[in-house]
Amino acid sequence: MARLTIEQGSLKMSAVIEFNGDGFPIGVHTDRYRDVKGKPVLTRWSGYSRDWKLVDGRLFPTSWESVWHLTEGDFTAVRMEILAVQAD
């Protein structure tokens, strides 16, 4: 695991990054703002990258999941799968 901190002016964000046995990042955990009835609410959030594969000559996580950790339970906000990559 690693802790990452980014600062831009008065804005500061920290995250914990998880890695698999091959050294690929597989999870990021931080607090993020989400919109609740028009108001920003700081909420625990995780992003998971899975199934690292060679796609068009580059290593990519071929699936991604974004999860809000709410008091009533986890809410998966996004699930996506990378099928191809195009670089210009």
Task: Flag whether 52 is in a domain.
Answer: yes
In a domain? residue 31: yes
Residue range of the domain that includes 75: 27-81
* pLDDT exceeds 90 at position 84: no
- pLDDT for the residue numbered 56: 76
In a domain, 73, yes or no: yes
Alpha carbon of residue 35 to chain centroid: 18
Residue 37 belongs to a domain: yes
Residues 58-66: what's their mean pLDDT?
Answer: 91
Q: How far apart are CA 67 and CA 13, in angstroms?
A: 18
**Is residue 18 in some structural domain?**
no
Domain assignment present for residue 6? The answer is no
Confidence at residue 72, expressed as pLDDT on a 0 to 100 scale: 96
| Residue 46, pLDDT above cutoff 90 | yes
pLDDT category of residue 69 using cuts at 50, 70 and 90: very high
Q: What is the CA radius of gyration of the chain?
A: 15
Would residue 59 count as lying in a domain? yes
Average pLDDT over residues 51-61: 85
> Domain tally for the chain?
1
Answer whether residue 10 is part of any domain: no
